[in-house]
Amino acid sequence: MAEATQALFNNAASPTMEELLYFHDLAMTMLIMIGLSIMATLLTITTTKLYIISTTDANQLEFLWTALPVTILIFIAAPSMRTLYLVEDPEHPHLTIKTMGHQWYWSYEYSDYETITFDSYMIKEQFLTKGSPRLLEVDNRMVFPMSTIIRMLISSDDVLHSWTIPTMGIKTDAVPGRLNQLTFMSLRPGVFYGQCSEICGTNHSFMPISVESLPMIHFENWASLFNNS
C-alpha cells in the first residue's frame, strides 16, 4: 500500500507490474538523458562566445539530429510493444472470478465453486481494527491462490466503475451490459488494495477493493468454509 510520502511505485506483486516497472524505468532513463543533453547544450550556447559557422550548412549534422530522435523512439517503442503484448496475451486460467460493480460496493462470484459468492463493502472508520487502512479495508476480501493464473470477468449492475489494483498492474472498466476480461497472477502472498477508478456517483470514494493472495493450501481451506456453511 502506498504511503503519504512515497515517491516511487510499490513493489510489484505480479509479472504484469514487473514489466510495467521495467518499462517505466527505461522510459524515465531516456527522458533524463534527453533532458540533461538539452540542458548542457543550452548552457554551452548561453555561456560561450565561440561560434562554428560551418555547422549552419552541414548535411551530416542535419542527418544526425534527424536520425537520433528516431533511434530513441525505436528504443522506447520496442519494449513498449513487448509489454503491451504480455499484458494482453491470454493464458489458460486456473480459476475464474466474476465481479460486479454496484453503487457503491463490489460483489464476487467464483465460477468454479457453486457456493462462493459474496458482497464486499467498505468498513466504516469507527469499526476498523488497529492497523487497518482507512477507506481501503473491506468486510469480505477477494481471496485467490498465489502463483496461479486468475481470470477476472468484470461488469457493472448500474453505472461505469473501474476495478483497479495498482500493485498488480491491473485496471479494467466495469461497463453495464458488457463483460470485460483480464488475467493476472500473484507472485507472493499478501493483501493488496485498490479503489474504483471511475467517477461513479456520490460515494465513488467509498467502494474500495481488497484482495488477498494465499498459498494454495490456505486458499482451499478458505474455500471449504463456504462448503461447510
Q: Using one digit for the tens of pLDDT, what is the confidence trace for 144-157?
A: 999 999 999 999 99
Q: Is residue 2 part of a domain?
A: no
Residue 185 lies in a domain: yes
Cα gap 5→25, rounded to integer Å: 20
Does residue 83 sit in the same domain as residue 100? no
49-58, 73-82, 83-92, 111-120: segment of lowest average pLDDT: 49-58
Give the pLDDT confidence score for residue 219 in this predicted structure. 93
Q: Are residues 100 and 201 in the same domain?
A: yes
Tens-digit pLDDT profile for residues 129-140: 888 888 899 999
Q: Are residues 125 and 195 in the same domain?
A: yes
Residue 164: band (very low, low, confident or very high) from pLDDT cuts 50, 70, 90:
very high
pLDDT of the residue at 228? 66
CB within 8 A of 2, min separation 6: which ones?
10, 166
Domain co-membership, 127 together with 201 = yes
State residue 162's pLDDT score: 93
Residue 80, Cβ density class (10 Å: 0-12 exposed, 13-18 middle, ≥19 buried): middle
Residue finishing a domain among 28, 57, 88? 88
The mean pLDDT of 1-8, rounded to a whole number, is 71
169, 206: one domain: yes
**Residue 4: inside a domain:** no
For 16-25, what is the mean pLDDT?
A: 89
Q: Are 107 and 53 found together in one domain?
A: no
Examine residue 63 and state whether it is found in any structural domain, yes or no: yes
Question: CB–CB of 118/107 below 8 Å?
Answer: yes
Q: Is residue 110 located within the same domain as residue 84? A: no
Average pLDDT over residues 107-132: 90
Give a yes or no: residue 70 inside a domain.
Answer: yes
For residue 183, the domain's CATH number is 2.60.40.420
Does residue 180 share a domain with residue 115? yes
pLDDT in tens, 167-193: 998 899 999 999 999 899 998 999 999
Instruction: Identify which of 150, 142, 173 has the alpha carbon closest to the alpha carbon of residue 15.
Output: 150
Task: In whole angstroms, give the CA distance from residue 165 to residue 98.
Answer: 15
Domain count, the chain: 2
**Do 212 and 164 reside in the same domain of the chain?**
yes
Kindly state whether residue 9 falls inside one of the protein's structural domains: no
Q: Of the candidates 32, 54, 88, which is a domain's last residue?
A: 88
pTM of the model: 0.82
* Same-domain pairing of 84 and 141: no
Q: Domain of 80: which CATH number?
A: 1.10.287.90
Same domain, 42 and 148: no
Average pLDDT, the chain: 87
Q: pLDDT band for 229, please (50, 70, 90 cuts).
A: low
The pLDDT tens digits for 193-228 are 999 888 888 888 889 999 999 999 999 999 988 876
pLDDT given at position 61 = 76
Residues 84 and 99 in one domain: no
18-27, 85-94, 181-190, 192-201: lowest mean pLDDT where?
85-94
119 in any annotated domain: yes
Residue 84 is part of which domain span? 15-88
Look at residue 1 and tell me if it is in a domain: no
Q: Which of 88, 110, 127 is the last residue of a domain?
A: 88
**42-72 tens-digit pLDDT:** 888 788 776 666 656 667 777 888 898 898 8
Is residue 112 scored above 90 in pLDDT?
Answer: no
